[in-house]
Structure 1
Amino acid sequence: MSGWVKKRFWQNAVVEAADGAFTVTLDGRSLKTPAKAPLLVRTRAVAALIAAEWDAQGDIIAPDTMPATRAANAAIDKVRGQKAEVTEMIAAYGDSDLLCYRAEAPQELVQREMQAWDPLLDWAAHRYGVKPATFVGVIHAPQPAELLTSMRTDVERLDAFELTAFHDLVSMSGSLIIGLATIDQFATPPDLWTASRVDEEWQIEQWGSDEEAERLAAGRKAAFLDAARFYFALQSD
C-alpha cells in the first residue's frame, strides 16, 4: 500500500518484526510510506502507536487522526534525507528562544513568566554550563555562543525519527529549551506545554478568546503532546 486511501479496506492492523525493526501489516500487507518506502520503525512501542491509529479508523480514513503514522512517514521520506537542514532549522530557535524575552509590565505577567520560565533556564544552565541570557522586549539579542553550540550538539545527536518529533516539540512551543527539557524529562509534557502558553493565557484573561484562536491552540497542544508520545515511544523496547 502507498499513500493515503479514502476508505477502510482491512480488518486488522498487526505489529510484526521485519528486517531487524518493526512494521504494521493490514491483513498481512505491510504498510509503506507515501514515497513507497517500507514503513519500518525501531521499536515495538512506535509500531503499536501506528497500529492503534489504523485500528481506530472508521469507514473513511482520517489522516489528521494519525499523528504517529504521519511522523514515521515524515522521518522516512523527508527528514532522513535532509537531516542537516532540519537540524539547522530547529537549532536556530535557540538564538531567539521564547523563554528569553520577557515582558516589562504589568508586574503580574512579569511574575508569571519568572515562575514558569526561570526554572527552565536554570535547568539549561545546569545542563550546558551557561545560563541563557534574558531580555526585556522583543528585539533580538544574541545568546552566548557556547550555549548555542552545546544545545545544537544535543539536536545533532537525534536520529531522523527523534528529530521529526523534536521539530514539533520546538516549533509548537516556540522554544528550543522547552523541547530539550521535554526529551530530558525535566517536567511532564503537559506542564511544559503550559509553560509555553504563559503570554497567550495572559492575553486571553485580559481580552478574551475566540473560537478560531481556541481551535488553533488546541491543535498546537495536540501536536506537541503527540510529538512527545512519539519521541518517548522511540525510547521504549
Structure 2
Amino acid sequence: MAALQGKVAVVTGGASGIGRASALLFARNGAKVVVADMSEVAGAEVVREIEQAGGTAFMQTLDVRSDENCAALVAATLARFGQLDIAFNNAGIFAAPTLTEDQGLALWQRMLDVNLTGVFNCMVHELRVMKERGGSIINTASIAGIQGAYGAAAYSASKHGVIGLTRSAALEYGKYGVRINALCPGLIETPMTVGPDSGFNDKMINAGVKGSALRRQGRPEEMAEMVLWLASDKSSYANGGQFVVDGGTTA
C-alpha cells in the first residue's frame, strides 16, 4: 500500500522548490493534496501535474502572514476532503546577505513575519483539527536554524524560532497523537537559491558546495523523501526532532 493512502496533506509554499517536490511525492504515495501558495498560477500547475498522474489535489491561495488566510486554508481542506492528517509548513523567504547592522527593521520584520509567524499561523489552525485524531506536522527550518549564518541574521533568527516552536508544540501535542518535526535543509537547488529572484550569488553557491561533504547542492526531490518519511507512519516515534539533510555541511 502507498505510504500515505487515505491521508490528506496540506503543503504551504507548494508551488515551487521543496514544497512542489513534496506535494508531487505525497500524491504519488496516495495522499489527497492541498497546494497552498501565493502564486496561484504556479500552484495550479502543480495541481494539474498531480491530476494528470491520477492523483487528487486543489489549489488554495495563501499568504501565511495572514491568520485569516491560514484559517481559510484549513477550513477549505476540511470542506473538500473532510480531514487533515499531514501539514508541511514550508513557505519561506530569503534575502541577499547583509551585515546585521545594515539589515534594517523592515527586513527583520519581514523575515519573522513569513518564516516564523507564518508557521505559527498555520500551526494554530492545523493543531485544533489534528488534536481530535492525530497527525503529522513538518515545519521547514534550515541548517541556519541550528548554527549561525553570515550575512543572514534575520533569516537565521527566524529559523531558530521555527525549531523552538516545533519543539515546544511537540511537547504539548504528543499526547494527542500529533507529531511535529522540523526539516533542516542545507543548500538546495530551488528558486530561493538559483535565479534572478534568489538571495544567493555565485560566491555563496560555490562556498556552500565546497562546504558540503558531498560537494554539491541538494535537490528538492531529496528533501521531499525526508518529508515523506516524517509524514508517514514509518516515522511514528519521531517527534520534536530536527532532521538535517545537508550533504554533510554541518558534520
Length-normalised TM-score, structure 2: 0.26
Q: Which has the larger radius of gyration?
A: 1
Greater helix proportion: 1
Using the size of structure 1 for normalisation, the TM-score is: 0.27
Bigger strand share: 2
